[in-house]
Amino acid sequence: MTAWLFDLGNTRLKCAPLGADGRPGPVCALPHREDDVAAALGETLPQARIDTAYLASVAHPALRMAVLQALTARCRRISLARTQAGFARDGFGRVRIAYADPRKFGVDRFLALLGAHAQQRGAALICGVGTALTLDLIDEQGLHHGGLIAPSPTLMREALHARAPQLPEDGGDTLDFAADTEDALASGANGAALALIERSLERAQARLGQRPRLLLHGGGSEALAPWLPASTQEPALVLEGLAIWAGIETPA
The catalytic residue positions are 108
Extract the annotated binding site for ATP. Answer: 7-14, 131
Percentage helix, strand, coil for the chain under 3-state DSSP, each rounded to 5: 35, 30, 35
CA distances from 150 to 127, 159, 175 (A): 11, 13, 21
Q: List, in sequence order, every residue forming a beta bridge with 17; answer none if it has no partner.
A: 4
The C-alpha torsion from 109 through 112 and 237 to 172, rounded to 10°, is 40
Q: How far is Cα 111 from Cα 244, in angstroms, rounded to an integer?
A: 8
Q: How far is Cα 210 from Cα 226, in angstroms, rounded to an integer?
A: 23
Query: Which stretches of 66-220 are assigned E, i.e. beta strand?
Result: 75-80, 86-89, 93-96, 124-129, 132-138, 144-151, 213-217
Tell me if residue 169 falls in helix, strand or coil: coil
Select from 236, 168, 244, 207 the least CA-distant residue to 25.
236
Q: How far is Cα 156 from Cα 186, in angstroms, rounded to an integer?
A: 10
For the chain, the first-to-last Cα distance in angstroms comes to 16
156 near 147, Cβ under 8 Å?
A: no
Extract the annotated binding site for substrate. Answer: 99, 106-109, 181
Extract the annotated binding site. Answer: 7-14, 99, 106-109, 131, 181
